[in-house]
Amino acid sequence: MEGHQRNLYLYDRFNARVAGVSRDQVATLEHWAKDLGLEFPIFSNPIGHLGIWFGALQAGYPMFNRTTVIIDKWGVIRYMQPGNPNYREILTVLKQLHEEEGRR
C-alpha cells in the first residue's frame, strides 16, 4: 500500500491509475486508508467476486491472496503476479504500456 502511494506521481506520469480491492467492509477500509494517508480508491468486495475472477481467492480461505493486476486501456490483462508487489517490475510494465499507447 505504502509503495503504491509512494509511486502515485510515477503512475500519473505513465497515465495509469491504481485501485485496491479487499474483502474488508467499507468502514474498515475508510478508516485504514485515512490512517495510512492513502489517496487512491480501495474497493470493498466482501463477496469476493474479483478474487474469484483473478484467481486470488482459494477455496476455504476467507481472504484474498495478494495479487497485482495491470489492465491496459483496451481492457486486456497485461500483468498478473501473486504475492507482495514488485514495484520496480510494475513500473517497468507501466512504462512499456505508456510507450505502446504513444505508438498506437
Partner 1 sequence: MNGLSVRLSAALAAVLLFLGGCALIQPPAADDGRATLVRDGEALVWQDEYRFVPPPRPWQLIDLDEDDYSVGYMMLCDEGYPCQSTLAYAEEPFGYSLDFETRQEEFFRRFLWASRVNFAEPKLQPTEVFGKEGLIAVTEGIEPVLGHKVHAKVVFARRGERVVAFYFTQWRAADADYDLRDEQDFDRFVESFEFLRPSFFEQL
Binding residues vs partner 1 (CB under 8 A) = 1-6, 8-11, 14-23, 37, 42, 45, 49-51, 53-54, 56, 63-75, 78, 82-85, 87-88, 90-95, 97-98, 100-101
**How far apart are alpha carbons 19 and 52 in whole angstroms?**
17
Of 61, 65, 68, 18, residue with least CA distance to 43: 18
Report the nearest approach of partner 1 to the CB of residue 66 (Å): 5
Compare residues 26 and 63 and give the one whose CB is closer to partner 1. 63
Cα torsion angle, 65, 70, 76, 81, sign: negative
Residues whose CB falls within 8 Å of the CB of residue 12, separated by 6 or more in sequence, listed in order: none
Compare residues 27 and 84 and give the one whose CB is closer to partner 1. 84
Compare residues 59 and 84 and give the one whose CB is closer to partner 1. 84
